[in-house]
Structure 1
Amino acid sequence: MLVEEGRAKVNLTLRVVGRRVDGYHDLESVVAFADCADRLSLLPGDELKLATSGPLANDCGEIADNLVLKAARLLGETIPDLKLGAFTLHKVLPVAAGIGGGSADAAAALRLLAGLNGLSLDDERLRDVALATGADVPVCLLSRAADMTGVGEGLLPLDLPTMPCVLVNPRVHVATRDVFAALGLRSGELLVGITDVIEAVAWPEKGASLEDWIAQLEQTGNDLEAPAMRIQPVIGEVLSALRTASGALLARMSGSGATCFAIFADATAAARAAEKIRQEHPGWWVHAGSLS
């Protein structure tokens, strides 16, 4: 039995550069990973299968549509005689939540199959399959902080300090396609000026403090936050709960929502804030931990 974790992906920033003529949106996003994760195991065998377990297994939808199987099938089509097997997904991360749960699971599947078949994570075929599976899968494949650009293919590694955080999801699903539709960009339309497209964002270098990162992150928000709140106004309530929490340094929505996060100066403040939010909103999913 081989085991991998699918860590939650958090978009610390998300800038929509524009909509390409092929309908896809070009993005620029600082991505970090949380210490909460789904767990995916693989039992090598002749038949490709997937079973689900865990507290949120019922939210996974149709097994046949799961990104774990999509990634495995695409890799099998790319690499002849690929060894496969039976996957078991222990699901603890909310789905359709803006933290890349499905993408992280697909990336974990690719890492498991790479290990089983003696493939390097730098194998171009693996990277191509990751991108074909979904825009967030390439960054989840490496599961390390990066500045992600384009439609997910551009990855510049970043050195983040450990960031104490609280993640909150109000247990409502938000479809990514609906949020981008609400953004309302026409084919070929740019959302930022051409100067902004040309100039690279200068993120803090290795060894920079949490305070340095917060100061830089405050300069760029999440362009999908406003359209997502129009679709699910409860996101505004989540952000309010996080922004008013004692010790919160920065709070915003991740991805296309509805999960939001806050970064704190220390783990104690994060834990206290999480407990307060749990008590006031017992129906919400709340995690206190760290980003890196």
Structure 2
Amino acid sequence: MSPIAFAPAKINLFLHVGAPGDDGYHPLCSLMAFADVGDRVVLHEADVLSVRVHGPFSGMLAGEGDNLVLRAARALLARARGPQPLVGLSLEKLLPVAAGLGGGSSDAGAALRLLRTALGVQVDDVELEAIAASLGADGAACLWGRPVLAQGRGEQLSPAPVLPPIEAVLVNPRVEVSTPAVYRAFDGLGDFGDVTPPPMPDAFESVEEMAAWLGFMRNDLQAPAIALAPAIGDVLALLADERETLLARVSGSGATCFAICASDIEADALAERVAGLRPDWWTVRCRLGGPWPDA
């Protein structure tokens, strides 16, 4: 069997974004968890380092020859001693693109973990995390796929509170949302958030307690994302009206929304109903937490 690494979807349980600094970057504070659904990266023999993309959302990456997976592989293999190995990577794209799920960063993180282990590249965790962080704001968090509190540009990580099992539903109206465009719309609003980490317990005793606490938090990019893609508002309105939903929110800059439910039975029922009502949307039942094993 070919070595394989799992690239879980990233979910921003909350996302507070501040005013841009002199360098143009926005400071943020975000509690991130990871879903047990995602993409898969597979290592195989090849004449030249390359990435083959397949899967239901592969067409959304058409023409992206220099994607994050390839950039991650090049950055890691540049640190390998001896002749360059003849390997390639296959990316099974199961997550929608430009969806607020950190898919590219998570794919890159999976490639880094996979190549380091399979090829025995002598790079420690700190250096591997630095490579991941250099690829984008979500890179460091998505490398390990475990719940974290991210600050700064997303590269300053600290442990998250202990989370309960989180049964959830992800819904995307199958529209792509440009993160730079959302930030431009956010800047235009001028309503910048406080990025001081909120007081958090060491552990949440139940998903109901966690959802109630998250209700006092926010996603500062939610309003500008809806302004650019009104279909996101349709998703949120539907999820919020369903009896199983404890909390509905946009992840990242959209367009994916998540609903947290009290139990697996309720999450199953919600996913089935949404899929029936809107078969044109991407609806996936999942559990949030992490890290999840490679499979």
Normalising by structure 1, what TM-score? 0.91
Amino acid in the other structure paired with 1:14: L
Give the aligned partner of residue 52 of structure 1: 53
- Within the alignment, does 1:272 sit opposite 2:269 as a pair? yes
**Deviation per residue, 1:69-120 (Å, 9 max, x gap):** 0111222345554646210111110000001111111110111122134358
3-state secondary structure, aligned to 2:8: strand
Matching of residue 183 in structure 1 with residue 180 in structure 2: no
RMSD of equivalent CA atoms = 2.1
Match among 140, 146, 155 for residue 144 of structure 1: 146
**Any conservation in 2 of the 1:56–1:94 contact (CA below 8 Å)?**
yes
Q: Contact 1:50–1:63 (CA<8 Å) still a contact in 2? A: no
Check the 8 A contact 2:7/2:110 in 1, yes or no. Answer: yes
- Paired with 2:118 and 2:199, the residues of 1 have a C-alpha distance of 38
- Asked if the contact 2:225/2:254 (under 8 Å) is kept, the reply is yes
Q: Distance in 2 between matches of 1:231 and 1:290?
A: 29
Mean CA deviation greater in 51-60 or 75-84: 75-84
C-alpha separation between the residues in 1 aligned to 2:173 and 2:36?
A: 19
- Percent identity among equivalent residues? 43
8 Å contact from structure 2 (residues 80, 122) kept in 1: no
Does residue 165 in structure 1 map to residue 171 in structure 2? no
Q: CA deviation at 1:207?
A: 5.5
Counterpart code for 2:235: V
Please tell me whether the aligned partners of residues 13 and 221 of structure 1 are also in contact (alpha carbons under 8 angstroms): yes
Partner Cα separation in structure 2 for residue 225 and residue 190 of structure 1: 12
Deviating 4+ runs (over 4 angstroms) = 78-84, 119-122
| Superposition deviation, residue 212 in structure 1 | 2.2
Matched residues in 1 for 2:123 and 2:235: separation? 37
- Superposed CA offset, 1:169-188 (max 9, x none): 000000100000101169xx
Q: Which amino acid aligns with 2:100?
A: G
Instruction: Give, in angstroms, the shift of residue 28 of structure 1.
Output: 0.5
Larger deviation: 112-121 or 27-36? 112-121
For the pair 1:227 / 2:224, whether they are aligned, the reply is yes
Please give the residue correspondences for 1:1-292 in structure 2 after superposition, counting only pairs within 5 Å: 1-44=2-45, 47-81=48-82, 83=85, 85-118=87-120, 122-158=124-160, 159-184=162-187, 191-192=192-193, 196-197=194-195, 199-206=196-203, 208-292=205-289
Structure 1 unaligned spans of 5+:
none
Contact 1:127/1:138 (<8 A) preserved:
yes
Are the counterparts in 2 of residues 204 and 213 from structure 1 also a CA contact under 8 Å?
no
CA contact (8 A) 1:83 1:116 kept: no
Q: Distance in 1 between matches of 2:154 and 2:85?
A: 27
Q: Name the aligned partner's letter for residue 185 of structure 2.
A: A
Q: Distance in 2 between matches of 1:190 and 1:170?
A: 26
Q: CA deviation at 1:227?
A: 0.4
Cα distance, 1:22 vs structure 2: 0.9
Give the alignment's TM-score, normalised by structure 2. 0.90
